[in-house]
Amino acid sequence: MPKAAKKKRIIAIALLLWNTLGVVMWALQSSTSPETLAQGDEVQIEVWRAMPLWAWIAYAVAAWSGLMGALALLLDRRAAVWLFAASVFGVVAQFSYALVLSPLVQAKGPGVVAFPAVILIIALGSMVYAHVATEPGAPA
């Protein structure tokens, strides 16, 4: 296997693992009570309780389209770009509730933005990488 193809496969597998973790977190968080999720953190409990359906749907779109995008990338399919784009859209929508429309940042401080920022950066990077890696003539 050529070096470029091996690198591409390793990146696709890493993204597959990362996005599998995202789906697992979505499944756990969407099926667990807010009290169990936040374990006594009253602000977090209220944020989870008040999370609107559209934010949960955005979370599902972010997680599942990211996983499908990683699988498409592993299979060298151009659809990976669009699936990762849907994931970016879901990430932005989901975190717009948590970080902009809820009292979370005001109550906990700007530090709560760090991990969502990492998630968004990885989602954007995945989309850009998929665009380059699935371009016709890209190294197999």
60 is written with which tokens?
Answer: 């599902």
Determine the pLDDT at residue 37. 73
Task: Note whether residue 140 is domain-resident.
Answer: no
pTM, two decimals, is 0.90
Task: Note whether residue 76 is domain-resident.
Answer: yes
Domain count, the chain: 1
Determine the pLDDT at residue 115. 95
For the residues of 38-106, what is the DSSP string, one character each? Answer: HTT-HHHHHHHHH--HHHHHHHHHHHHHHHHHHHHHHTT-THHHHHHHHHHHHHHHHHHIIIIISSHHH
> Quick check: 81 and 134 in contact, CB under 8 A?
yes
Task: Note whether residue 49 is domain-resident.
Answer: yes
Task: Name residues of the chain where pLDDT drops below 50.
Answer: none
Task: Note whether residue 139 is domain-resident.
Answer: no
Range of 86's domain? 3-133
DSSP letter, residue 135: S
